Amino acid sequence: MIYLDNASTTKPFLEVCDIVYENMKVGFGNPSSVHKIGRNSLDLILESKKIIAKKISASPSEIIFTSGATESINTAIFGTLGKLAKRGNHIITTEIEHSATLSSMHELKLRGFEIDYIKPDINGHINVMEFEKLVREDTILASIIMVSNEIGSLQNIKKLNEVFKKKTKFGFFHTDAVQGFCKIDINVSDLGIDLMSVSGHKVHGPKGIGALYIRENTNIKPLIFGGSQQSDYRAGTENVSGILGFAKAVEIYDEKCDKTHISSLNAYLKETLVGNFSKYGVQFNGSDDVKNIVNFSIPKIKSEVALRVLESHEIYVSASSACNKGKLSHIVKALGLPNHIVDSALRVSFYTENTTNDIDKLIDALKICVQMFE
């Protein structure tokens, strides 16, 4: 099996599996219980918050755990509105967000909010000046993805936040950092942003666990009401074993993942694609600023056909985000590329155990696809 779909999800590290299993077996106390077993669980959560916070240069009190980035994003967006909707109704986002953001925006439009969607340039970058023109005094929220989950383009979040803060009177800036977290250095104080969403299963942690960074004094409303867990920001008994697994993955990520190796795989894939498929018009979609994602099209082969052929060789890649279940990529489309390129877009996403041999096998299988259409 050759797994080249790590932007969809990652294989949990063994250390993560171990800590989750151990905690479920022996550390099952409810963190809200006042007795010792409960207090032990609460201590583990606090230790885990420290690990996540350290990774992004935040303080532990600025981190809440959620059921994943979808919930983090929803909390950031609806929590901001819960606080600021009386003061304005203008929101800015981009056409290249994950569906967790785009579907939230769709719902907000139905509720009467005014939403501006910025188009990226052909490389998948958001123009800072274009963004600045849209920001108004009464803009209550900007939500801009940090690294595209389909093409790997990286936005200048620091600059975007700076121009936002100059013009808005009270708005919050949120970034979906799911695909940047652990892959690039993130320092939230330096970025100056208010809210940031991350997910466990994209960094070799468990599924169903994520975190939201809420900058100190950024007063948002909770999304979920109930008990007073996590400083009243997120009710419900915490997923202690998931939290521990997530923190373990983050703690050991740098020693387990070789970023130089990922960059060389990226270069090797592009080189071999060009070497073998130039005559079929292979092209790369967007700018792969973050090297674990490469998006390309061989116009002769439709994505859905390629996926089936590759799967028959036990090679797993994707055509768009896993959350879009086979629909064509709205992100590649947003780059302004013609339909035949969008129809044939494939996303390869690496992790540290992939090898050049995996790429050679992918190339061989793609050659079979091309021959099918000759």
Q: Is 210 in the site for ligand PLP (CB under 6 A)?
A: yes
Q: Which of 12, 31, 68, 171 binds ligand PLP (CB under 6 A)?
A: 68
Of 179 and 218, the one with the shorter C-beta distance to ligand PLP is 179
Of 168 and 320, the one with the shorter C-beta distance to ligand PLP is 320
Q: How far is the CB of 94 from ligand PLP (least distance, A)?
A: 12
Sign of CA dihedral 153, 157, 159, 163: positive
Of 96 and 108, the one with the shorter C-beta distance to ligand PLP is 96
Q: How far is the CB of 9 from ligand PLP (least distance, A)?
A: 8
Q: Is 183 in the site for ligand PLP (CB under 6 A)?
A: no
Of 117 and 268, the one with the shorter C-beta distance to ligand PLP is 117
Q: Is 199 in the site for ligand PLP (CB under 6 A)?
A: yes
Residue 46, CB-side half-sphere exposure with 13 Å CA sphere:
9
Q: Is 292 in the site for ligand PLP (CB under 6 A)?
A: no
Where in 308-327 is the site for ligand PLP (CB under 6 A)? Answer: 321-323
Site for ligand PLP (CB under 6 A): how many residues? 15
Q: Which of 2, 58, 76, 100 binds ligand PLP (CB under 6 A)?
A: 100
Where in 137-156 is the site for ligand PLP (CB under 6 A)? Answer: 145, 149
SS3 of the chain: the string is CEECECCCCCCCCHHHHHHHHHHHHHCCCCCCCCCHHHHHHHHHHHHHHHHHHHHCCCCHHHEEEECCHHHHHHHHHHHHHHHHCCCCCEEEEECCCCHHHHHHHHHHHHCCCEEEEECCCCCCCCCHHHHHHHCCCCEEEEEEECECCCCCCECCHHHHHHHHHHHCCCCEEEEECCCCECCECCCHHHHCCCEEEEECCCCCCCCCCEEEEECCCCCCCCCCCCCCCHHHCCCCCCCHHHHHHHHHHHHHHHHHCCHHHHHHHHHHHHHHHHHHHHHHCCEECCCCCCCCEEEEECCCCCHHHHHHHHHHCCEECECCCHHHCCCCCHHHHHCCCCHHHHCCEEEEECCCCCCHHHHHHHHHHHHHHHHHCC
* Residue 294: φ, ψ to 5°: -130, 125
Selected range binding ligand PLP among 14-22, 131-139, 158-166, 171-179, rule: CB under 6 A = 171-179
Closest C-alpha to 93, from 82, 104, 78: 104
Q: Which of 6, 23, 41, 70 binds ligand PLP (CB under 6 A)?
A: 70
Q: Is 176 in the site for ligand PLP (CB under 6 A)?
A: yes
Of 210 and 286, the one with the shorter C-beta distance to ligand PLP is 210
Residue type, 355: T
- CA 109 to each of CA 92, 104, 189: distance values in angstroms, whole numbers, following the listed order: 12, 9, 31
Q: Which of 4, 63, 69, 186 binds ligand PLP (CB under 6 A)?
A: 69
Of 274 and 323, the one with the shorter C-beta distance to ligand PLP is 323
Which residues are annotated as catalytic?
A: 323
Q: How far is the CB of 362 from ligand PLP (least distance, A)?
A: 21
Q: How far is the CB of 100 from ligand PLP (least distance, A)?
A: 5
Q: How far is the CB of 226 from ligand PLP (least distance, A)?
A: 20
Closest C-alpha to 143, from 216, 212, 73, 89: 73
Q: Which of 139, 179, 218, 292 binds ligand PLP (CB under 6 A)?
A: 179
Q: Is 347 in the site for ligand PLP (CB under 6 A)?
A: no
Of 168 and 303, the one with the shorter C-beta distance to ligand PLP is 303
Q: How far is the CB of 313 from ligand PLP (least distance, A)?
A: 25
Whose CB is nearest to ligand PLP?
68
What is the binding site for ligand PLP (CB under 6 A)? 68-70, 98, 100, 145, 149, 176, 178-179, 199, 210, 321-323
